[in-house]
């Protein structure tokens, strides 16, 4: 399995996202320019220029027409995927951290960081079909959790919003009223900051990665802990295969400690775990720094990783990957 090395960012990667068809890969980095690539051969198609701060996350609509990005420049922007034009800018009073389109792309959930006196918040925006009709008003604003909310995503059928972040608690909110419905308990939950959150293909369960060196699998409706995957380093990114029962975990030390280790020590690898048996089944090495972003192609036949080293590595699986037996 030879990786395709995609060099288009000058700063560390923050997020990767495939479109629903699996033919485009969107990457976000700290260098202000979200980029779109062909997911097949890693060719760069273009960049979306307009942010002037690190871009933390992005999401693409079901029909691949619209891209939404959240940035440290205190805005979230809507883009036309094909032309790269800015369609609309949502302005906030603090950096926008996480963005996620709802099923049907009529709504978007955007989280903002705590800043000066402002607490962190979850904003729900209505997304207009016609960009000229777009307005910036929030349909719903949820405040409450302490510390930064690193990720907020829609639950099944858009009835709930699932959020997680610095206080290590996973919360499920009612997306109509903003009421807190459930939160993970301290015993079975993460012990440190939750860095990443990924849903299964059918929305029935989701995976969280945390700096407490573990990833956990949760039931989306009941918020019961199903599985725990333990590694020896902080987890920055998680994703799961839509095809096989595989969970992929990426991480590494803090960026400041990176120079003290040899990249050949293989610390910076994407580790594959068996989802059911919770056992490690393999790893993919290659990055010269911690892995900050992971994404699985919706067809389950390839995955990509983005690192602190500014590279995106695209891996197409060999046929024998699909016959791994434990």
Strand partners for 272: 248, 282
Res 267: pLDDT: 59
Number of domains forming the structure of the chain:
1
Which residue range is the domain that position 178 belongs to?
3-323
What tokens were used for 272?
């594959």
Mean pLDDT of 271-277: 96
Q: Is the pLDDT of residue 265 over 60?
A: no
> From residue 317, how far is each of 221, 245, 313, 321 by CA, in Å?
32, 15, 13, 6
Consecutive H or E run containing 216: strand 214-219
Give the C-alpha separation, 162 to 118, whole Å: 21
Q: What integer is the mean pLDDT of 128-137?
A: 95
Please tell me the predicted confidence (pLDDT) of residue 257.
Answer: 61
Across 296-314, average pLDDT: 96
> What are φ and ψ of residue 264, in 5° steps?
-75, -10
Residue 266: pLDDT band by 50, 70, 90 thresholds?
very low
| CATH number, domain with residue 298 | 2.130.10.10
């Amino acid at each position: 399995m030879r990786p395709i090395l995609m060099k288009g960012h000058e700063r560390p990667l923050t997020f990767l996202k495939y479109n629903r068809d699996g033919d485009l890969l969107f990457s976000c980095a700290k260098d202000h320019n979200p980029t779109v690539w062909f997911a097949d051969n890693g060719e760069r198609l273009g960049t979306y220029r307009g942010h002037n701060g690190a871009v933390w996350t992005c999401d693409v609509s079901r029909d691949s027409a619209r891209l939404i990005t959240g940035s440290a420049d205190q805005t979230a922007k809507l883009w036309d995927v094909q032309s790269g034009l800015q369609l609309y800018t949502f302005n906030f009073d603090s950096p926008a951290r996480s963005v996620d389109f709802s099923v049907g792309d009529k709504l978007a959930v955007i989280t903002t960081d705590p800043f000066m006196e402002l607490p962190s918040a979850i904003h729900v925006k209505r997304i207009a079909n016609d960009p000229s009709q777009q307005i910036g008003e929030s349909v719903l604003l949820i405040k409450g959790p302490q510390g930064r909310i690193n990720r907020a995503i829609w639950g099944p059928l858009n009835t709930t919003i699932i959020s997680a972040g610095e206080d290590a608690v996973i919360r499920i909110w009612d997306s109509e009223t903003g009421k807190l419905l459930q939160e993970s308990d301290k015993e079975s939950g993460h012990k440190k900051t939750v860095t990443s959150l990924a849903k299964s293909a059918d929305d029935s369960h989701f995976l969280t990665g945390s700096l407490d060196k573990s990833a956990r699998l949760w039931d989306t409706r009941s918020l019961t802990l199903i599985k725990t995957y333990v590694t020896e380093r902080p987890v920055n990114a998680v994703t799961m295969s839509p095809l096989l029962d595989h969970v992929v975990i990426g991480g590494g030390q803090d960026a400041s400690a990176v120079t003290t280790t040899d990249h050949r020590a293989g610390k910076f690898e994407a580790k594959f775990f068996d989802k059911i048996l919770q056992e490690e089944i393999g790893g993919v090495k290659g990055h010269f720094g911690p892995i900050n972003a992971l994404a699985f192609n919706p067809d389950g036949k390839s995955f990509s990783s983005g690192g602190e080293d500014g590279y995106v590595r695209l891996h197409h699986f060999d046929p024998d990957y699909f016959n791994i037996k434990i």
